[in-house]
Amino acid sequence: MARKRDGRGHGWSWQRGRAVAPLCLLTAALLAFPGLVPNSPGRLGSLLETFRPWLGLAVPVLLVPALLRRSFLAVTALLLPAVVWSALFGGLLSAGDRAPDGTFTVVQHNVSDVNADPAATARALAGTGAGLIALEELTAPALPAFEAALAADYPHHATRGTVGLWSKYPLTSVRLVDIRPEGVGEGWDRGMRATARTPRAEVAVYVAHLPSVRIGPTTGLTSGRRDASAALLGEAIGDEPLDRVILLGDLNSTLDDRGLRPVTSRMTSPGPGFAFSWPAKLPVARIDQVLTRSATVTRVRSLPATGSDHLPIAADIALDTD
């Protein structure tokens, strides 16, 4: 006699999967409301926000026990995190294949202070044809290689400390932006500002390299100095008199990280494209950013690896017109 297909048999059932279903709901909640996770201890909230897109991997992982248990309950519950992830990140899956009309391209790249071949990196960046190229971790020995390789296509450039900006457009009003967190001494110069006279309008261009963060098994995410530096950068952008602003920099986190809110709250998020930039060998996060004010990043994408541990990031920008 055939076995009855109920909760006690081997058929699909609404009774099984009661352990998997709550995990599905938890995943959906963390995706939708990461701010509910406190930042103390170990800045766990920021850590979650930094890698939030990867929570989507929980869906196929949880699908396995749901199928093995033949649980209608678990499979149905899995729809919630799948829908939430798609709503949040589905639009980033395609960055498009061409720049919209009326845009120009910028490139952001942390070139690494231990880059073994800065000249090759510079040639690769020159080949992008970007209107602006922002660089971080420029060292004194490497600087001449970048200047020589970029001189022909980028007649205008300026550096302050370990950051620099190369431009096809004239640069004026170049100055250092002090984003040193408390306790960091003189000579730590990792922020600058210039006015770029593009064909459409004058734009204030900021280049910044925020302090690194560390992740440890006992300390969690250590980002105090990065957060303090972000607050100083946010104040500088808030005081900027020009309407149109472009920020290019290694901000050492993703845009979801609450530690960057002093900056991100004053700027417009970029358009489609995950554009993971770090680490170059197996990118899992975009910590190199292009943000705008009174302008729109219509597309962002990562470029082929250079001699750096970061990938270059290219973005197409449309300037808002009055």
Query: Are 322 and 278 a contacting pair, CB within 8 Å?
Result: no
CB 195 within 8 A of CB 242: yes
Neighbours of 85 (CB within 10 A): 21
From residue 87, how far is each of 52, 84, 91, 255, 280 by CA, in Å?
Answer: 13, 5, 8, 17, 27
Q: Per-residue pLDDT tens for 182-237?
A: 989 889 999 999 999 999 899 999 999 999 987 766 556 678 899 999 999 999 99
The confidence score (pLDDT) of residue 1 equals: 47
DSSP-derived secondary structure letter, 47? H
63 membership: H or E segment, kind and range:
helix 58-68
d(CA 148, CA 235): 35
What pLDDT is recorded for position 94? 66
- Which residue from 208, 217, 213 is spatially nearest to 237, judged by alpha carbons? 208
Element (H, E) at 78: helix 72-89
Which tokens sit at 80? 């919630």
Pair of tokens at residue 53: 């897109």
For 253-311, how does the pLDDT look when each residue is reduced to its tens digit (9 = 90+)?
A: 999 999 999 999 999 988 778 899 999 999 999 999 999 999 999 999 999 999 999 99
Residue 215: beta bridge partners? 221
| pTM, to two decimals | 0.87
pLDDT at 315 over 90: yes
Angstrom distances, CA of residue 201 to CA of 240, 244, 290, 305: 16, 8, 18, 32
Alpha-carbon gap, residue 247 to 174, rounded angstroms:
14
Buried b (16+ CB within 10 A) or exposed e, 288-319: bbbbbbbbbbbbbbbbeebbbbbbbbbbbbbb
What Å distances lie between residue 66 and 9, 23, 74, CA to CA? 16, 11, 5
- Better pLDDT: 9 or 211: 211
